[in-house]
Amino acid sequence: MTAAPAHLFAATSHGELFAIRLTDGHVEWRIATSPRVGTRLTTDGTWIAYSGWEERRAVVGLVDAATGVLSRQVALASERPLQMLTFTDDGYLLAVTTTTAHAIEPRDGTIVWTARLSGPAVVTSICVGPDALFVSTDGVRLDRIDLLTGRLDWTSPPLAPAANQSMRCRWVNDVLVCAGDETMAAVDPASGAILWEARDLRWSDAASLIGLEDSVVVVTSGDGDPDNAANADRPAAEAQPPAPVGGKAAEEDARKSQRWLVVRRLEPRSGRELPISGAADAAEAERTLRHERGDGVYVRNGGLLIRSGTTLTGYVNSP
């Protein structure tokens, strides 16, 4: 599903693509696709692009957004499914598989350039900035590919101590923030230089990155005692054990045996930790969590992290 200012475009599992008018929900047009529309769907308001698969090759379909007419199909020189499909600021359509990247001119279907990646892409590392594609093929270093030429501009220094398949990258406020297993780093997108990094963070386990306009929210999880994990990388003078909600020994033991979540909000260029804010009410959050045994509210740098099982249900500022 993808959206333009006036329409919502969606596809069915049977290969139908249709346009819904946002003002009244009317289906403006509906077409059958062949090859069948896949999982990737994007629009720039003029064109709709979708992924397909035909004769062991990735195919991109281009549809006129106003009329629903299939304009053309572009077969890519790749035997791998598409992992990303997006329009760039320069008007190209960028199609990325695990082994190649392609820039397509949507007006005539011309493949402007094809770049072969240096190895199989770590899918979660694929990230697009205003003028470049960023991707890691080993979970250690990051490659920058120019969107106009397809040329490899640079390969970053190591961002992680060892190869892994869990690197995640986000474009936040003109900075690339990447997280892996127990590591985190920010990269200057122009030069590839490392702006800051943090390694061997015992609180970091399969971090999720949420990019905001001015910061990145890092959600980390693990097993055992969240108190120790949350404070492991901080000086002893700053480490303060949070008070559990409930107070019973059995609930305390249960809490320590469950998985935990910790949330941090960081300034992307410096790595400085920022206050966490939200719309939830702290007192109401405590009352809610008292009703759910084993959950908790944990103090974190003046904020409250609200955990429900393995799900983050909210985070708020302390009064």
Whether pLDDT at 112 is above 90: yes
CB 180 within 8 A of CB 164: yes
Q: What is the mean pLDDT of residues 138-144?
A: 94
| Selection from 317, 281, 285 nearest residue 301 by Cα | 317
Single-letter amino acid code for the residue at 33: T
Q: Confidence class of residue 121 from pLDDT cuts 50, 70 and 90?
A: very high
pLDDT of residue 89: 92
297 Cα distance to chain centroid: 26
Q: What is the mean pLDDT of residues 46-68?
A: 93
113 forms beta bridges with 103
Whether pLDDT at 301 is above 90: no
Q: What is the mean pLDDT of residues 215-234?
A: 58
CA–CA dist 61, 302 (Å, integer): 50
Q: What is the mean pLDDT of residues 191-201?
A: 85
pLDDT of residue 204: 46
Q: Confidence class of residue 196 from pLDDT cuts 50, 70 and 90?
A: very high
Question: Pairing mode, if any, of strands 296-300 and 303-308?
Answer: antiparallel
Q: What is the mean pLDDT of residues 31-59?
A: 91
Best-predicted range by mean pLDDT (78-87, 269-278, 291-300): 78-87
pLDDT of residue 33: 93
Question: Pairing mode, if any, of strands 208-211 and 194-199?
Answer: unpaired
CA–CA dist 65, 58 (Å, integer): 22
Q: What is the mean pLDDT of residues 29-52?
A: 92
Please enumerate in sequence order all residues whose Cβ is within 8 A of that of 306, keeping only pairs 6 or more positions apart, or say none.
Answer: 280, 285, 289, 295, 297, 312, 313, 314, 315, 316
Give the DSSP H/E element, type plus range, for residue 103.
Answer: strand 100-105
Single-letter amino acid code for the residue at 143: D
Taking only the tens place, the pLDDT of each residue in 231-279 is 444 333 333 344 444 555 655 555 555 555 667 788 999 999 887 655 4
Taking only the tens place, the pLDDT of each residue in 84-99 is 999 999 999 999 999 9
CA dist 137 → 55, 95, 99, 292 (Å): 26, 17, 9, 43
Q: Confidence class of residue 316 from pLDDT cuts 50, 70 and 90?
A: low
C-alpha distance across the termini of the chain, in Å: 40
Q: Please state, rounded to an integer, the average pLDDT across all residues of the chain.
A: 79
pLDDT of residue 81: 86
Whether pLDDT at 46 is above 70: yes
Q: Confidence class of residue 138 from pLDDT cuts 50, 70 and 90?
A: very high
Q: What is the mean pLDDT of residues 114-120?
A: 94
CA–CA dist 193, 170 (Å, integer): 16
Please enumerate in sequence order all residues whose Cβ is within 8 A of that of 205, keeping only pairs 6 or more positions apart, or say none.
Answer: 181, 182, 220, 221, 222
Say what percent of the chain tops pLDDT 90. Answer: 49
Which segments of 132-258 are extended strands (E)?
132-135, 143-146, 152-155, 168-172, 175-180, 183-187, 194-199, 208-211, 216-223
Whether pLDDT at 127 is above 90: yes
Q: What is the mean pLDDT of residues 47-73?
A: 93
Q: What is the mean pLDDT of residues 302-309?
A: 57
pLDDT of residue 169: 92
Domains in the chain: ranges and CATH: 1-116 (2.130.10.10), 202-319 (no CATH)
Whether pLDDT at 216 is above 60: yes
| Selection from 239, 258, 240 nearest residue 296 by Cα | 258
